[in-house]
Structure 1
Amino acid sequence: MEIPRIFNPSRRKGLHKERLQMSGEDYAELFKISILFQDAIKIILDRREDKPLDLLQEYFSVALKGEHVLLRDFSFISSSQYNRSCFINQVAKIFHTNPYFKIITALDYHQCLCLLCSDFPRSLVLEVSKIVPVHPSYQNNSEKPENYISTLSNEPSLFDKFDIEEFRQGAEMFFFYSEFMEKLKTLFSELSSGDFSIENEVMISLAYSGINSIYSRTRFSLFLFPPIEIVQEALLSKAQGKLQLPLDELYLVDEIGDKLNASGAIGYKDLCLALMKNPEIALEIERQYQIPNNHEEELKKLATEEPSSIEPSSQSSRRVRTKKKR
C-alpha cells in the first residue's frame, strides 16, 4: 500500500472511499446517527401530533440545514462531529458574516456563544484566550485603566481584546477537537519539568513520540482528532528553523520521525497556534457539514411512502423462495 504524504489531498479521497465501504452499522456508530433519531423521536413523543412522519421529515430537513443545534444544551451540540460542525457553521453565519465589531473580548465572545447555547462552557473560551495573541492595539497592559479587569475575576485573559476572526479559529479548533486538545495539554504537562506553563518548551522529538502514542492508543475510539498529518506539519513548521527543511518538499509519514528527532523544542502554546493557523484544520471541520442536493424532496418522499409500497429486491425475493422450498 502506498504511504500517504503530508499535505497530499489524495489521502482524503482514500478516507472517503473507506467511508463508502463501511457497513451501515459501522457508519451509524462512527457518525452517531442514533443521536439524531433519539432526538427526533423525543420531539415526536412530546408533541404527539397526528402526522408524526411529517414531523420526522421536518426534523431532518432542519437537521440537514444544520439548524437543529440552535438553542440546545452543550451536551447535545457536542454529542457528534456533525452537531459540532453544524454549531460552528451557525456561529459563523450569525456572528461572522458581516461582523459589526472586528475586535472583541473573550468574555463578550462567550456571551455571543451563550445566545445559541446557554450553557456553553466558559472554560473552553478561557483556553482559547490564553492561546490566541492579543490584538496589537491592546498588547500593552500598562495602557489599561485600573478598573479594566474586574476584581471578581481570577482570569484576566477573558478581558483581553482579540481579532474576532482569529478568536473564531481558535474557538472552532478547541471546540471541535476538544478531546484531542485536552490530551495534548496533559501530554505537555507530563513532559514539562516543574510547574506546567503553556509557554514551557519540550523537546520536539518527545512531543512527537507522545502525540503518536495518543493516536495509537485511541485509534479505535470515537474521539475527534485532527489528521495526524496536520499535527506533523505543525511540528515541522516549528522544526524548520533548526533543520532547514525545504518548504516545498513532501515527506513520507515514516520519514517524519527521523526529521523530528533532531534538536529543537516546542511549547503547548506554539503547537496550538501552529495548528490553529493551518488552513487544513478549518477545511477538515467544514467538510463535516455538507448539505446534499434536493434533500427536502427526497425526505418528503421517504416520509410519505407507505411501507407496503416498498418492493423487495430480487435478491431478497430469491432468498424467500429458497426458504419456502426448504
Structure 2
Amino acid sequence: MATTIGEGLDVEVRLPPHLQRYGGATTARLSGCSGPVVVALGGISADRFVCTGKDGGPGWWRGLVGAGCPIDPACARIVGLDFAADPTGVRAPSTVEQAEVVAAALDSLGLDAADLLLGASYGGMVGLAFAQHFPARIRRLAILCAPATPHPAATAMRELQRRTVAMGLALGSGAEALSIARGLAMLTYRTPEEFDARFAGGNAEDASLAVSAPGAYLRARGDSYLSVMSPERFLSLSASIDRHAVDPSAIPHPTLVIGARSDRLVPPHQLEALAGALPNCELHLLDSLYGHDSFLKETAMIAPLIAGFLA
C-alpha cells in the first residue's frame, strides 16, 4: 500500500515470513522521481523521514540529505526506512536481518538496486551487512561512524542502558527509565570537551537529587527521546547493535568510511581496521568536538567528502 505525504511516497514493506517476530510490516519512503537510487539510514532513532520531515520541513539528516544538499531529491531517488524491531522488546534483529528488510523495501518500491547506500551509526552497520549479503543490489557504500563489530566498552554501556529500561518497565516506569538510558547514551555520543565548553561542573545545592546544568540538558534530551522511541523498541534495536558482525573482506564495492577522532563509541582504530580490511576503501577521520554525533553535527565537513566520492 502506497500513500503520498508531502514530497515523499510512503510504501508498506511486508517483512519476510521468518522475520514476522519483528512485526508484520514496516514503512519505507521514496523522495525524488528520477536519478540514482540512494538508501540513507541513520541511528536506531532515525526513521524514513530522512529527506523531508513529517511537518514538511527538513528531514533528520539536515545538511547532507534534502533540497540543496549533496543528496538532493531533485537529482536522486532517496529511500528512507523505519527499522524493523520487536514491538515487545524481547528479541533483537541482527543487522543481517535488518539488511533483509532493506532488500524488502527496495522490492516494495520496485527498485532493483541502490547506486549508493549511505549509512551512519546503526545504519552504517546495516549498510555493511547489506553490502556483504546482497552484493548485487548495491554499487557504492558510504559508512559513517560504524564498525565491523561493536567495541566491547560500547557493548557494556548499552547493556547497562537496557538493564535500566528493563527495570523501569518492570516497575511501571518505562518512560523515566528510557529517559535515563538516553542520557547515558548521550555521554557516549558526545565528548567531555563539548560538555566542558557548554556547562559548569558540580552542584552548589545540598539536595542529593538537585539537578545540575549538564544533568538538566541530559534530562531534556532523554525526555524528548520519548516522542520517537518506546522502551520496548529501544530494547530491541539497542540489542541489535550488539548482534552486528560483518566480514569486511567480503565487501568488494567502492566504499567511503568517515569517522571522528573524538568518537568514543566507535574509536578511530576500529575505523582504521575496517578500512584496512575493505578491498576498495577511502578513509577520512575528522577532528570534531561532537564525537559519535559528528555524522549529524559536522555535515559541512562531511558533505564535500560525499560529493567527491559520488563524483
Greater relative contact order (CA < 8 Å, ≥ 6 in sequence): 1
Give yes or no for TM over 0.5: no
Normalising by structure 1, we get a TM-score of 0.25
**In terms of Rg, which structure is larger?**
1
- Please identify which structure carries the higher strand content: 2
- Please identify which structure carries the higher helix content: 1
